[in-house]
Chains A and B, each alone.
Chain A
Amino acid sequence: MLDEDLRSDLQKRGIFVASFEDLYNWGRKSSLWPLQFGLACCAIEMIATAAARFDMARFGAEVFRPSPRQADLMIIAGTVTKKMAPLVVRLYNQMAEPKYVIAMGACAISGGPFKEGYNVLKGIDRYIPVDVAIPGCPPRPEALLEGLIKLQKKIEGQRLFGPNRARHADTRDAADYPVPSYGAHDLEPPMNPAVFKPEPSRREAE
């Protein structure tokens, strides 16, 4: 890595030195294009975040794209029902790498207030990897902005090469996630074990 003193010295002379990774990550984190995809109540707060007062454009993420092919970021804004879950996974598969997921609100994280419902998926992290989870019902627009900043920080630290490289840079990793099908009582399979690795609850750990 470049010496910080040397870097600032060069900067004073108008020479900017950056590693390829830094430049690449800086570009990506500053122009995240979210998928214009609202599921429920949180979608209204997502729209409010993009609207005049909260102005998501300040963080470079205002270009909502209706097509998954053009989007980098999927904001899962609302309750994912069992009828909707396969479509959410399919939309995620249709997005081009590198792609990120924000689970916005209690429903997307765990089912939220509707967790006991027979038709509600208890968290989208059962099928697709979630990068940032924002609690709240619904989260305030400020919370969504903070989630976005958290995601930008995460992108900033991602490595492109080496053993710790990011998922999207690892060609061995699966790009497609299996889409669940409608079973007799539940989705088949009820979760994707390659993705869903919940931490054991405190009671189980003891």
Chain B
Amino acid sequence: MSFLPSLESPQTIDVSLGPQHPSTHGVFRMNVTLDGETVTRLQPVFGYLHRNHEKIAEGNSWLAAMPYTDRLDYICPLTNNWAYALAVEKLAGIEVAERAEFIRVITAELTRLQNHVAFLGFVLGDMGAWGTALMYAFREREKILDLFESLTGARMMCNYMRFGGCRCDLPPGWLDTTRKLVDGFPKFLDEMEALLTGNEILLARLQGVAPMTADRAINGGMSGPVLRAAGVDYDIRKVDNYGIYNRFKFRVPRGTVGDCYDRFMIRVLEARESVGILKQAIAVIPEGPVVNPKAKQRGFRPPAGEAYGRIEGPKGELGFYLIADGSDKPYRFRIRPPSLINLTLLEELCVGTKIADVMVILGSIDIVLGEVDR
């Protein structure tokens, strides 16, 4: 942090928060103008983690872009894989194997669970409860990472989806372990809620902080839990019915005022819905091949054309816009990251609040810098 007397008025000071700051979720920077403790202006500074994802993908083969998608939103690699695979499948018109569709739903919902759990830990850390809540959250997250590891071979960088399916079949006993974890998960959520949601300090820090109206959220291009917390019924799993989501029964939780508390609670409720989807999917997953045998992976050359594939990622609408020119490389590889676009309203949300609330507001949007800067 650095303090400078502001040029605008002698009463205010400019504070540079980040890029090294314990609560900026990576290397995000905000230039904040303060009047006392009140924020009068906030300017986000991006690019400290710009890793040239799009340019690198345009120089590599179609399949070689898959492991890079893991590193976009590095907390939820499997949903990123799915979004890219979905875009390519749309581009080349590839059918997905039936069993693979179920595996995709199961892994994506597990990813959503572990993202929302990690979110609870991080946002509590932003409020000053550094450590304890995160320990609880990461204990639960580790169990899900174990499942990913036994399935894909990696804890975080899974590189699991392929065009037309998945890379390998479930290892023996994997579904049983997953069923046990899913059955025990509501207990963890109950415990977390018993400790947190009625907590007076948490309510004081979250309720009424930075409310967002539904109109504003839509105009700001919000998506995912942030949009739904503002009361908009928009879930791409329901709207697009991509994959096989139309076969599962689940509700879309919505907030009412769109304040930080709504954004916090919507994650807990969504995690509960994910548990329901997981239970349904595990019960009816069919046998069969996990990848469409007609789909080519190496030396894959889709016909010239363009496609936009999007999914409901744990953080919002994650889309890939691909242009193919008939060669073995993407001509254009564009990522629509939910984290970056959900930050559009950050200044509007933060102006007028206290400096201590800025961290909570940023935390409640739930960003990952790998995706913001790409």
Chain A interfacial positions (CB closer than 8 Å to B) = 36-41, 43-45, 47-48, 51-53, 66, 68, 78-79, 81, 83-84, 87, 91, 113-114, 116-120, 137-138, 140
Partner of B156, one of A45, A78, A83: A45
B59 with A116: CB separation less than 8 A: yes
Chain B positions 3-30 with a Cβ under 8 Å from a chain A Cβ: 19-22, 26-27
Check B304 for interface membership: any CB of A closer than 8 A. no
Sample of 24 A–B contacts (CB below 8 Å): A36-B22, A38-B26, A40-B26, A40-B27, A40-B74, A40-B370, A41-B71, A45-B155, A47-B134, A48-B138, A48-B142, A52-B139, A53-B139, A81-B47, A83-B47, A83-B48, A87-B19, A114-B56, A116-B56, A116-B59, A117-B51, A118-B55, A120-B52, A138-B156
B155 with A140: CB separation less than 8 A: yes
Contact with A along B24-61 (1 / 0, CB 8 A): 00110000000000000000000111111001100100
A79 with B22: CB separation less than 8 A: no
CB contact under 8 A between A51 and B139, given known A81-B51, A116-B56? yes
Rounded to whole Å, the gap between the CB of B291 and the closest CB of chain A is 24
Q: Chain B residues near A41: list those with CB within 8 A.
A: 71, 74, 156-157, 370
A91 with B156: CB separation less than 8 A: no
Q: Chain A residues near B21: list those with CB within 8 A.
A: 66
A138 with B134: CB separation less than 8 A: no
CB contact under 8 A between A117 and B52, given known A52-B135, A66-B22? yes
A39 with B26: CB separation less than 8 A: yes
Q: Chain A residues near B138: list those with CB within 8 A.
A: 47-48, 51-53
Contact with A along B109-142 (1 / 0, CB 8 A): 0000000000000000000000000111011011
B135 with A51: CB separation less than 8 A: yes
Cα-based distance from A91 to B1 in the complex (angstroms)? 12
Cα-based distance from A41 to B141 in the complex (angstroms)? 15
Q: Which 9 A-B pairs have the closest CB atoms?
A: A117-B52, A51-B138, A41-B74, A66-B22, A52-B139, A114-B51, A52-B135, A84-B48, A53-B142
Q: Chain B residues near A52: list those with CB within 8 A.
A: 135-136, 138-139, 142
B56 with A137: CB separation less than 8 A: no
Nearest B residue to A36, CB-CB: B22
CB contact under 8 A between A44 and B75, given known A52-B138, A114-B51, A114-B52? yes
CB contact under 8 A between A138 and B26, given known A39-B49, A81-B50, A113-B71? no
Check B369 for interface membership: any CB of A closer than 8 A. yes
B74 with A91: CB separation less than 8 A: no
Cα-based distance from A137 to B145 in the complex (angstroms)? 15
Partner of B51, one of A36, A120, A137: A120
Cα-based distance from A39 to B48 in the complex (angstroms)? 9
Q: Chain A residues near B234: list those with CB within 8 A.
A: none
Check B67 for interface membership: any CB of A closer than 8 A. yes
B51 with A119: CB separation less than 8 A: yes
Can you add 20 more A-B contacts, CB < 8 Å, to A51-B138, A116-B52? A39-B27, A40-B26, A40-B369, A40-B370, A41-B71, A43-B26, A44-B156, A47-B134, A48-B141, A48-B145, A52-B136, A66-B20, A81-B51, A83-B47, A84-B49, A91-B20, A116-B56, A120-B52, A138-B157, A140-B155
B48 with A81: CB separation less than 8 A: yes
Rounded to whole Å, the gap between the CB of B16 and the closest CB of chain A is 11
Cα-based distance from A165 to B51 in the complex (angstroms)? 39
Nearest A residue to B51, CB-CB: A114
Cα-based distance from A66 to B55 in the complex (angstroms)? 33
Q: Chain B residues near A81: list those with CB within 8 A.
A: 47-51
Rounded to whole Å, the gap between the CB of B370 and the closest CB of chain A is 6
A119 with B52: CB separation less than 8 A: yes
Cα-based distance from A37 to B18 in the complex (angstroms)? 11
Cα-based distance from A85 to B20 in the complex (angstroms)? 12
Q: Chain B residues near A113: list those with CB within 8 A.
A: 67-68, 71
Rounded to whole Å, the gap between the CB of B20 and the closest CB of chain A is 6
Q: Chain A residues near B67: list those with CB within 8 A.
A: 113
A37 with B48: CB separation less than 8 A: no
Rounded to whole Å, the gap between the CB of A70 and the closest CB of chain B is 12
Rounded to whole Å, the gap between the CB of A136 and the closest CB of chain B is 10
CB contact under 8 A between A117 and B139, given known A40-B49, A44-B74? no
Q: Chain B residues near A66: list those with CB within 8 A.
A: 20-22
Chain B positions 245-279 with a Cβ under 8 Å from a chain A Cβ: none
Q: Chain A residues near B27: list those with CB within 8 A.
A: 39-40, 84
Nearest B residue to A79, CB-CB: B51
Q: Chain B residues near A118: list those with CB within 8 A.
A: 52, 55
Q: Chain A residues near B51: list those with CB within 8 A.
A: 40, 79, 81, 114, 117, 119-120
A137 with B157: CB separation less than 8 A: yes
Rounded to whole Å, the gap between the CB of B61 and the closest CB of chain A is 14
